[in-house]
Structure 1
Amino acid sequence: MCLLLTMAITIQEVLKQISQSLYLQSETPSLDGQVLVGHILEKSRSWVLAHPETLLDDQQHKNITHALHRLKNGEALPYILEYWEFFGLKFHLTSDVLIPRPETELLVERGINWLHHHPRKRKAIDVGTGSGCIGIALAKNIPDLNILLTDISPMALNVARVNAEKFGLVDRLEFKQADLLEGIAGQYDLICANLPYIPRHVLKELPVAVKEPLLALDGGQSGVELIVRLLDLARNRLEPGGLMLLEIEASQGTEVMTRANEFYPAAKVELLKDLSGLDRCVEIALSNRIIHLCQRKQWFAAQKQGIFISQALSQEGFIHCSQPEQILQVANRFYQGIPGLVLLWIDPEKITSEIRWETADGSIFPHIYGPINLDAVISVVDLLPDMDGIYRFFNVPD
């Protein structure tokens, strides 16, 4: 349907024509029309609805017709508007980035809630940031949060920078072009990512109206290739006691949960649903305590010295674990039948030495490089072998 330019037309009439024109193309043709007309008139959507009898001048009518033509050709409305609202913020958009979806607000809400409950956790990273909507929404709601925004696309990073400047956050945000976490150093308290998760073969079946950047949609053959890569890379980047939030496609929950448990056997892994009841986010929470195993004589010496310097178990660093079950594996491998072991329960937030997560025999252990101050030790538990010299389950302190 083509709008007529030779006669005066009211807002109500043009909204009706737009809705009819987009009926087979859009899931929300009426809403699209209201937003589009408001954009052209530089008025709010509520104003448009409150003034249905207002006449459009020729230029306004022409601009609406041109925009409608672009919509009919499959261009997404947010790209025509050059902005879209997410988490109460109006983000600048170009066709170089994915359009923010309301489903992603679940990830932001979980991140904000976790940060409020962990006031010492203030170092975050938004992987595959696109427009910057996740990282910027977090930073706007957590005033002392410092966050790194990464993306493989330099064009996407340019859009994110524009949004950071728009919201006055340049001083607290950093930007880096990177393939996931490749080339990223250091550890982070919070890792967030809404990575491409559409299987490559499904992309071919998407409606013509979906014309977003392929780089922001293509999740590889399985749809979870990038997510699995990030799970692997993040093991050396997520702080003990840290949190990782990953948006997923609704059908991928079980697979991503399984892979997350493989990479993080000691973590608490949860699958979260969006407001539609669909699986939408995988949450991985690392333990906020570290367990260290040592001989009692080492602990006595440490108390005299004021610091704990461990004897490494044939490693460069000290083996620490997140769960009692892991410590039992280490105890029986290296100390079977040897009495006089103690477990040190350590607060990772009080450790100033570097913590590096590494793989050992299929489990993930953090290695700590450097001494531990005694004030980081929460409690000490004696570990004794049974009659066969085997270490078994023990009482876990609160």
Structure 2
Amino acid sequence: MDFAVGTDDDAFRREARAWLDAHLVGSHAEAARHGGPGSEYERVEARRAWERELGRGGWIGLGWDTGAYGNRQATLTQQVVWAEEYARAGAPGRVGHIGENLLAPTLVAYGSQEQQDRFLPAVARGDELWCQAYSEPGAGSDLAGVRTAAVRDGDSYRVGGQKIWTSLAHEADWCFVLARTEPGSRRHHGLSFLLVPMDQPGRIDVRPIRQMSGTAEFNEVFFDGALAAAGHVVGGEGNGWRVAMGLLALERGVSTLVQQIGFGEELARVVRLAVESGAADDPVLRDRLVRQWAELRTMRWNALRTLGSSGEDPGAPSVAKLLWGGWHQRLGELAMAVRGASATAGPYDWRPESPYELDALQRLFLFSRADTIYGGSDEIQRNIIAERVLGLPREPR
């Protein structure tokens, strides 16, 4: 695929830039540059309002295969252009990205027409937020070990079990849940992909997990007889593993390029600090800065190559995860090295009621420690590459 920007892309860029300049004003502007990774707690209500503003403009769902739900359609290069302009404008961190980039394409690929008609318009309007309930205390990277169960009860399923590391569960209206619907089944057999409403007091308990950065983007979610409609099983009962794996492949798509734009902004901040503080005069640190820049460019071209290649590459999602997880973690370490001794201390307030605050680079360092674990640990990604791409023998279980 040719990723050169053409005349149509230039016009699309001008349209995107003009729309952002005209609408990122007032209360929306106050939420600008808030809500990125590690700071999802910031200005949530203002960012929800911004989500609805994006929906009114048709800017949610650019990559969906259908434009029937009030969303614009855009080519891959135009989706990248939109992400670049969004980052340039410093627009608020998205609270609807799980519904837009994960659930919606999954419904387009595997869902029934009724499911698409029920859920896609609400996502496109920015009205309903979603969270993803995959990982469990005993089934994180090894997702096939999930024990959360869903039992058929008339026209509904009753869901029972515990999920963990569930991003935005405390804000979400709906949750897609991987649960075991066949009693006694093991591994990837007997699983189903259910759509569960979160507003079920007494049946769903969300408990934030406080991290060492002081924030709580992730949650534990306890399901105690939570109801899911029988018509809200995506792909049919027992096909949850296929649907879940299809969703994880989507997670490494254009959203990876969007993520890299944010990485570029973080790297630019570290470079500016290194130049201003004189740390860039150290040849070792200067070499590390150059390496970070070169690796980020390599990741970008690899992501573009993957999107433009025909057919499915079973190793591509794992390669992408290995690349960005390690890169972002090294960037956090580099940020602390550039800061020097001052990186170990934050703003101090003698008042006992004063909250413990970290600056952006300190949050980057602490949050990025998890990058090589969440979303599938490095060990799991290497196993996938070894077994599914290189054909090496599976590890004994």
Q: Does TM, scored on the shorter chain, surpass 0.5?
A: no
Which structure has more RCO (C-alpha within 8 Å, separation ≥ 6)? 2
TM-score by length of 2: 0.24
1 or 2, which has the higher strand percentage?
Answer: 1
TM-score by length of 1: 0.24
1 or 2, which has the higher helix percentage?
Answer: 2
Larger radius of gyration: 1
